[in-house]
């Protein structure tokens, strides 16, 4: 089934045959240094669009200081609204809602409502309307390192997968328009909806992990996801020196699965200092870490060329 | 008493706080709702036994009956069905199991098919402390909320329950936080930590859940989080220092209250304060 979907997406993708590549940086576990690395890539890439798909907790803008050029309203899922004047209290809507979003007083819980429209469909008194609502913004911004697409979700709004897709679509159309040859995407943590939306159609996933038990566990899960959707994946071990034993375990594990470990970066406090200065680590300092990231970038570029 | 441990940003130490807090409360239950990356048991090493699974109903299309009328894809607000002139394609990862397509299909070509999306397990030894409940989202599945809902059915009233939430502020987090009595937001003193904390604060305020903050990897001379909390009138419940011993224990998978009993007392006091605060309110 997944194979069928993949080929469907590839056939219908607008950038087919343009030679444009899409790199996603993901991590499974949060806090592994994914954004620090993505921001440095952005600073080194010659002709790339930068996309922040970690829409729940976006951080890339804190390092790349984007200047917003265009703002596009993002419409999340519509929400059901019941007009009690028209309602004859048949409760068909409540019985048909698979998300328990309509209570016994026929009030729609705005958090629980997923906006499927089933209640509107089953209501015979025309008492239910699906109401559109702006639930965030997608930005096209200028940075010192090229165009950046990022987003902001309104407080309490919850349509991350859909917003991720909106960010991706916009980055792709900008890349087509500007003839960029690469999209670099900072992805969300986890293995669920936002991650799947992020990796769909990507040419290469760089997975940033760390040698902690949770880092290792989550690497395994996220690798299963990239394998499941047949996205080529490579691994970078960040802060490898906080536990060299675990780092060796990760390397052995990747080797067994035929996954390349393309970089090992040391723990370095300059990451936080660069963050305080709102800049990328490679612009901030010349040290073992920034040299490591440069070498990593070269490996990633050559892996991308293979795809 | 149900206390959820959440954080806007991943990797701040949410699971560390959840595990150590649960270990410091007698007879507590620990519910790992981070079903995309459940990590509590990496620190507890309990033998778990499966007790349930989350099931959703996904459409099953009988192409023999289908006339490619396109009504199903018009109905589906999640773009999970595409109708082409001679093909209907279902995108299972986009499907929210609303049942809309089944209702609208004039040819009755779509039926519901049950699908398991995740597994719920619990400590095999019921006398175990803390008793751990864990949910795992199956690989390739996108919807975490049904697993979380199934997991939360096992929460017992009158038991002190610690809930490890997923990171971020999205649907799985809201599903986790719903009906909890208190929320602890764990953050770290960096600009990323502060930014994501402020998003999480807005979320718990909207959900109307009382909350406080724990600063993890706190350092002398860095008060970026305290300044924000001061300004916003938010309680800083605890600071866990950036400490070599704690970091070492973490990397070995040992909850630090096991080796540093003074911290068990601190967590226990923290819990009592939250309970007392609730009784007063
Ligand atoms: S289906 Fe329509 S008429 Fe029936 S209870 Fe719901 S809103 Fe009222
Ligand atoms: S739109 Fe769907 S989720 Fe929302 S109330 Fe109606 S049936 Fe329930
Ligand atoms: S609604 Fe039924 S008949 Fe029409 S395209 Fe969908 S499956 Fe086929
Ligand atoms: S069940 Fe709902 S979400 Fe799933 S395909 Fe049908 S209409 Fe779309």
Q: Cis (ω within 30 of 0) for the bond into B109?
A: no
Region A241-250: what's the mean pLDDT?
Answer: 93
Rounded to two decimals, what is the model's pTM? 0.88
Give the pLDDT confidence score for residue A208 in this predicted structure. Answer: 96
Domain borders along chain B are 2-46+128-280, 56-116
CA distance A307 to A204: 7
Range list of β-strands (E), B62-151 = 81-84, 87-90, 110-123, 131-137
Give the pLDDT confidence score for residue B46 in this predicted structure. Answer: 94
pLDDT band at A271 (very low <50, low <70, confident <90, very high): confident
Closest CA to B172 of B195, B141, B215: B141
> What pairing do the DSSP bridges indicate for beta strands B182-187 and B131-137?
unpaired
- Residue A18 pLDDT exceeds 80: no
**Terminus-to-terminus CA distance in chain A, angstroms?**
23
Residue B81 CA: nearest ligand 4 atom is: 5
**SS3 of A18-69:** CCCEEEEEECCCCCCCHHHHHHHHHHHCCCEEEEECCCCCCCHHHHHCCEEE
Best residue among B97, B98, B99, B145 to mutate for probing ligand 2, ranked by most atoms within 8 Å of CB: B98
Write down the number of H helices and E strands in chain B.
11, 11
Give the pLDDT confidence score for residue B281 in this predicted structure. Answer: 60
| CB contact B77 to A (< 8 Å) | yes
| Whether B4 contacts B166, CB under 8 Å | no
Region B228-234: what's the mean pLDDT?
Answer: 96
Q: Which CATH number fits domain A2-74+137-306: 3.20.20.210, 3.90.79.10, 1.10.230.10, 3.40.50.300?
A: 3.40.50.300
pLDDT in tens, B47-57: 999 999 999 99
Buried b (16+ CB within 10 A) or exposed e, A16-36: eeeebbbbbbbbbbbbbbbbb
Closest CA to B169 of B7, B3, B4: B7
Q: Could you give the angle at the alpha carbon of A295 between the alpha carbons of A175 and A250, nearest 5°?
A: 100
**Terminus-to-terminus CA distance in chain B, angstroms?**
14
CATH topology for B2-46+128-280 is Rossmann fold (3.40.50)
- CB neighbours of A11 closer than 8 A, spacing ≥ 6? none
Q: What is each CA distance from B274 to B12, B184, B210, B271, B279, in whole angstroms?
A: 21, 10, 10, 5, 9
Query: Mean pLDDT across chain B, nearest whole number?
Result: 93
Packing angle of the helix pair A288-306, A34-44 (nearest 10 deg): 70
Q: CA A189, A192, A193, A198 torsion: positive or negative? A: positive
> What pairing do the DSSP bridges indicate for beta strands A261-264 and A233-237?
parallel
- Residue A3 pLDDT exceeds 80: no
Task: Say whether A138 sits in a helix, a strand or coil.
Answer: strand
| CB contact B12 to A (< 8 Å) | yes
Give the pLDDT confidence score for residue A1 in this predicted structure. Answer: 44
What DSSP designation does B172 have? H
Listed in sequence order, the DSSP H helices in B153-211 are 171-177, 191-207
- State what percent of residues in chain A have pLDDT above 70: 93
In chain A, ranges of CATH 3.40.50.300 domains: 2-74+137-306
Nearest CA in chain A to B79: A162
- Residue A225 pLDDT exceeds 80: yes
CATH topology for B56-116 is Alpha-Beta Plaits (3.30.70)
Task: Say whether B101 sits in a helix, a strand or coil.
Answer: helix
pLDDT in tens, A62-101: 999 999 999 999 998 899 999 999 999 999 999 999 999 9
ipTM comes to 0.83
Query: Which of A217-231, A266-280, B186-200 shows the lowest mean pLDDT across its residues?
Result: A266-280
CA distance A234 to chain B (A): 19
CA distance A206 to A214: 18
| Whether A202 contacts A53, CB under 8 Å | no
CA distance A222 to chain B (A): 8
pLDDT in tens, A249-269: 999 999 999 999 999 999 988
| Whether A268 contacts A292, CB under 8 Å | no
> Does domain A77-132 fall into CATH 3.30.70.20?
yes
Give the pLDDT confidence score for residue A76 in this predicted structure. Answer: 87
- State what percent of residues in chain A have pLDDT above 90: 72
Decide whether any atom of ligand 4 lies within 6 Å of the B97 Cβ: yes
Region B242-252: what's the mean pLDDT?
Answer: 86
Region A218-225: what's the mean pLDDT?
Answer: 94
How far does the centroid of ligand 4 lie from the alpha carbon of residue B59, in Å?
A: 7
CA distance B7 to B166: 8
| CB contact B170 to A (< 8 Å) | yes
- Residue B171 pLDDT exceeds 80: yes
Region A236-242: what's the mean pLDDT?
Answer: 93
**SS3 of A262-293:** EEECCCCCHHHHHHHCCCCHHHHCCCHHHHHH
Classify residue B281 by burial, with Cβ atoms within 10 Å: 0-12, 13-18, 19+.
Answer: exposed
Task: Say whether B276 sits in a helix, a strand or coil.
Answer: helix
CA distance A77 to chain B (A): 8
CA distance B50 to A234: 33
Contact A116 B140 (CB under 8 A): no
| Whether B155 contacts B177, CB under 8 Å | no
Listed in sequence order, the DSSP H helices in chain A are 2-12, 34-44, 60-64, 92-96, 118-122, 160-178, 193-199, 213-228, 244-256, 270-276, 281-284, 288-306
Q: Residue A67, Cα to own-chain centre: how many angstroms?
A: 21
- State what percent of residues in chain B have pLDDT above 90: 81
Q: Residue A216, Cα to own-chain centre: how many angstroms?
A: 20
pLDDT winner (highest mean) among A193-202, A285-294, B20-29, B244-253? B20-29
- CB neighbours of B275 closer than 8 A, spacing ≥ 6? B1
Hey, of B99, B140, B201, B202, which one would you mutate to test binding to chain A, going by the most A CBs within 10 A of its CB?
B140
- Residue A111 pLDDT exceeds 90: no
Higher local confidence (pLDDT), B191 or B251: B191
């Amino acid at each position: 089934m997944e194979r069928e979907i993949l080929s469907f997406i590839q056939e219908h993708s607008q950038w087919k045959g343009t030679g444009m590549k899409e790199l996603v940086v993901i991590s499974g576990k949060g806090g592994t240094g994914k954004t620090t690395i993505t921001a440095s890539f952005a600073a080194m890439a010659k002709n790339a669009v930068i996309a922040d798909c970690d829409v729940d907790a976006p951080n890339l803008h804190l390092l790349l200081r984007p200047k917003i050029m265009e703002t596009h309203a993002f419409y999340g899922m519509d929400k059901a609204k019941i007009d009690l004047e028209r309602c004859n209290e048949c409760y068909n809507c409540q019985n048909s809602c698979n998300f328990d979003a309509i209570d016994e007083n026929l009030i729609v819980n705005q958090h629980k409502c997923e906006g499927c429209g089933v209640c509107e469909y089953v209501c015979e008194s025309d008492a239910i309307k699906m109401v559109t609502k702006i639930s965030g913004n997608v930005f096209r911004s200028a940075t010192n390192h090229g165009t950046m697409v990022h987003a902001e979700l309104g407080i309490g709004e919850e349509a991350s997968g859909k917003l991720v897709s909106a960010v991706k679509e916009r980055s792709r159309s900008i890349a087509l328009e500007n003839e960029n040859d690469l999209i670099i995407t900072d992805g969300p943590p986890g293995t669920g909806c936002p991650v799947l939306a992020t990796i769909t159609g990507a040419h290469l996933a760089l997975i940033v992990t760390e040698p902690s038990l949770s880092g290792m566990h989550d690497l395994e899960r996220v690798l299963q996801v990239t394998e499941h959707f047949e996205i080529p994946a490579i691994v970078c071990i960040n802060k490898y020196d906080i536990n060299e034993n675990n780092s060796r375990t990760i390397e052995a594990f990747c080797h067994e699965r035929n996954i390349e470990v393309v970089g090992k970066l040391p723990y370095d406090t300059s990451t936080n200092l660069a963050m305080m200065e709102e800049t990328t680590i490679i612009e901030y300092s010349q040290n073992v870490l920034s040299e490591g990231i440069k070498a990593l970038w070269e490996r990633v570029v050559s892996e991308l060329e293979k795809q | 008493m149900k206390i959820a441990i959440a954080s806007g940003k991943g990797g701040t130490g949410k699971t560390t706080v959840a595990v150590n807090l649960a270990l410091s409360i007698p007879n507590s239950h620990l519910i790992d709702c981070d079903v995309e990356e459940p990590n509590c048991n990496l620190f507890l090493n309990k033998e778990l036994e499966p007790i349930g699974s989350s099931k959703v109903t996904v459409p099953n299309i009988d192409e023999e009956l289908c006339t490619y009328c396109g009504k199903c894809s018009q109905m589906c607000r999640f773009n999970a069905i595409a109708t082409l002139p001679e093909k209907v394609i279902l995108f299972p990862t986009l499907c929210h199991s609303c049942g809309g397509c089944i209702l609208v299909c004039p040819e009755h070509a779509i039926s519901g098919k049950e699908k398991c999306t995740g597994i719920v397990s619990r400590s095999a030894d019921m006398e175990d402390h803390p008793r751990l409940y864990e949910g795992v989202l199956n690989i390739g599945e996108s919807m975490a909320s049904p697993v979380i809902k199934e997991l939360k059915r096992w929460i017992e009233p009158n038991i002190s329950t610690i809930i490890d939430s997923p990171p971020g502020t999205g649907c799985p987090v809201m599903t986790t936080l719903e009906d909890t009595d208190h929320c602890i937001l764990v953050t770290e003193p960096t600009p990323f930590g502060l930014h994501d904390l402020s998003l999480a604060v807005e979320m718990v305020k909207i959900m109307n859940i009382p909350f406080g903050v724990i600063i993890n990897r706190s350092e002398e001379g860095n008060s970026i989080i305290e300044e924000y909390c001061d300004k916003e009138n938010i309680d800083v419940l605890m600071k866990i220092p950036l400490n070599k011993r704690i970091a070492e224990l973490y990397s070995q998978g040992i909850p630090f209250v096991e080796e540093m009993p003074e911290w068990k007392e601190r967590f226990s006091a923290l819990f009592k304060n939250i309970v007392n605060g609730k009784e007063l309110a």
